Structures are given as C-alpha cells and as structure tokens.
Copies of this chain bind each other. A is one copy, B any other.
Amino acid sequence: MTLTAEQKRQAVQKQYNASLELCPARQLLEAISSKWVTLVMLALEEGQLRHSDLRRMIPGASQKMLTSTLRSLERDGLVSRHVTVSVPVRTDYELTARGRSLLRIVFEMKDWAEQNMDGVAASRLEHDTNRYLHV
C-alpha cells in the first residue's frame, strides 16, 4: 500500500520528534521550564532549606507541585535531599555543584529578561494594537 504525501510527512514528524526527545539541550530546557524549577533553585541559592521553608518562600506552589519539582531536581542531580529520621521527620534540600552551575544560566536569563522586558512589552502592545485595528 502506498502512502499519501501527508502520511509520509507525519511519519517523518514522529521520527523527528522521537529523536528530539533524546537531545540533551531539549531535555534541559524541558527540565527547567517546568513552572517551579527556577523558583526552587533561586530559593536554594543561599543554602540548605527544609520542605516547609520552601513552601513558605514559594507560596504559589501546591504541596504536590513542590514535592514533584524537588523529586525531579533530585533525579537530575541538581538538588540533594537529606532526611533526618526523627518524629516528626525532617528533610533538607540543597543545591549540588551541578545545580549551582545551572543556576548561573538561570541568572543570565533573568538578566536578559530584565534588560529586555520594556522592549518586549512595547512590541507586544504594538502587535496587539495593530491586530485590533484590523479586526
């Protein structure tokens, strides 16, 4: 059976997407673009913090998201987790060396964003305004 041009194109899409998943830069981007990752890393900049400290410092995160964010960071070796067995339990989180090296890039992104926020906002405003005029 022959494939239509559209079917062939979609087969290529699937393959390309599959290989993208393996791209390390892509994986990094996906890892840090999760909503809370950067906030957790920035909070941990000064040193080690407990789960409840982080919850206070990042009040927007639900407990579930905070836990899963920390798990993901731990899995990638960006954050280390220390459990003190007592009642009640105590867990501390801390950036690893790798985590700190990534934090440097996060800061650069922050700098770029601050330097360009006005320009981007102006551009958006103009774009949206023009669109409105035509519709």
**Chain A contacts to B: CB under 8 angstroms:** 9, 12-13, 16-17, 20, 24-25, 27-30, 32-33, 38, 58-62, 74-77, 98, 101-102, 105, 108-110, 112-114, 116-117, 119-120, 122-124, 127-128
Partner of A75, one of B75, B101, B124: B124
Chain B residue nearest in CB terms to A126: B77
For the complex, what is the distance from the CA of A24 to the CA of B120, rounded to whole Å?
Answer: 9
Contact of A76 among B38, B60, B123 (CB under 8 A): B123
Which chain B residues border A110 with CB–CB below 8 Å? 25
When distances are taken between beta carbons in the complex, the residues of chain B under 8 Å from A32 are 29, 33
Q: Name A19's closest neighbour in chain B (CB-CB).
A: B60
Q: Are A13 and B60 in contact (CB under 8 A)?
A: yes
